[in-house]
Chain A
Amino acid sequence: SVDPMTYETQFFGFTPQTCILRVYIAFQDYLFEMMQVVEGVMLKKLDGIPGCKISPFQIRKCTEKFLLFMKEHFDKLFAKMEEVLLQLVLNIPKNVLLPEDKVQEQYPYSKEEFQALQDELQQLQQQCRAEAAAEQALRAELEEQKAVKAELEKILQCFDGLENICREHGASNFKESFALLTQSSRKLQDVLKDVEEKSK
């Protein structure tokens, strides 16, 4: 049955009801204080009048009468003031959103939507990690390929070197030259045989 006015408290930093209560207590205290002062002044004055028939008790009765009357009106008037202050001044209308809560209307995500967003983030992170791992593997292979290519090219260079040597020594096609050399060797062998037979 009590409206705690939490949203107003969020803005002001204090509850409106407490503010009003503080004001009420202060005003009431001042009223009582002033009445005490009034009574005090009257009693002091009466003290100075010799043979005065008015007793302090009578003055006290008068004070109580006046105070009761004032307190009654005070309470009635203060209640009206409180109503106005709580409705018009220390109040945040229902259609008003405080600046710190703007995100609530800009991004009204339900539990499911929020979970979906978190899941998506997790998935993206996993994909990024996978891509990073893939990059590592690819670059490792590139390095390996570099070394392998270098070795293979060295071997090819050896073959090229051999062929160059043969070419430098007049054998552009080693296979043909070798065949020719074999042929020539055979011919020479045949000629040698011939010569040996004739010399016998």
Chain B
Amino acid sequence: GRAQVFTTVVDTFLEKLVAAGSYQRFVNCYRCFYKLQPQLTRSIYDQFISQLQASIKEEIQEVKNEGNLEGLFSSLDKIVEEAKDREEPAWRPSGIPEEDVRSTMVPYFLKHRSYLRRVLREKEEENRKVAESVLMGRDRIAELQQLIQARQQAWQ
């Protein structure tokens, strides 16, 4: 995982730095002081290395805490794992917001389209039945008008 790699890389860096800044090298640079105080020189060097390592590790921990790096690394590992069977490059932002936001809208639009189609279908069916009633009503009115006309003529 990324968290492990991160820790390992930092530890390796520290290790190599400490190896480079060896006691021998320290003594070579502070020769005059070493000749005067060899034991103190050793003590100062040990403190220097120990303090440097502690500060660096503390800083790394602070960076991890502030940025929630452990959590992020774990999430990213999961996401990468899920995509492991995929070879082709994934989508990336085009830099044109107008284009990129389209796909965000599509699912809602499709849902809305299904809804409208359903509502339209239901409305059309309902109207078809009402239209039938209207036609029947018209026929009935025509019938009544004919009956009345016939009676009126008979009375006339």
Contact = CB atoms under 8 A, between A and B. Distances in A.
A30 B89 CA distance: 41
Contacts of B130: 135, 138-139, 142
**Interface centre among B10, B30, B36, B55, by most A CB within 10 Å?**
B30
Which applies to chain B's interface (DSSP): helix, strand, loop or mixed?
helix
A66 B30 contact: yes
Which applies to chain A's interface (DSSP): helix, strand, loop or mixed?
helix
Contact of A128 (B99, B100, B120, B148): B120
Given A30-B56, A101-B93, A156-B144, 18 more contacts: A12-B67, A23-B59, A30-B55, A33-B55, A46-B33, A66-B29, A77-B16, A96-B83, A107-B103, A108-B103, A109-B102, A109-B106, A114-B102, A117-B110, A120-B113, A128-B116, A142-B137, A175-B154
A101 to B, nearest CB: 6
Contact of A97 (B25, B59, B83, B120): B83
Interface of B: 2, 5-6, 9-10, 12-13, 16-17, 20-21, 25-26, 29-33, 36-37, 40, 44, 48, 51-52, 55-56, 59-60, 63, 67, 72-73, 76, 79-80, 83, 86-93, 99-100, 102-107, 109-110, 112-113, 116-117, 119-120, 123-124, 126-127, 130-131, 133-134, 137-138, 140-141, 144-145, 147-148, 151-152, 154-155
Contacts of B102: 109, 111, 114
Interface stretch (A51-59, A179-187, A191-199): A51-59
A131 interface: yes
A34 B59 CA distance: 14
Given A66-B25, A99-B79, A85 B86 contact: no
B80 A42 contact: no
Contacts of B148: 152, 155-156, 159
A11 B91 contact: no
19 contacts: A11-B76, A30-B55, A38-B48, A52-B36, A63-B30, A77-B20, A78-B13, A109-B106, A117-B110, A118-B109, A124-B113, A124-B120, A131-B127, A142-B133, A145-B140, A145-B141, A152-B145, A152-B148, A175-B154
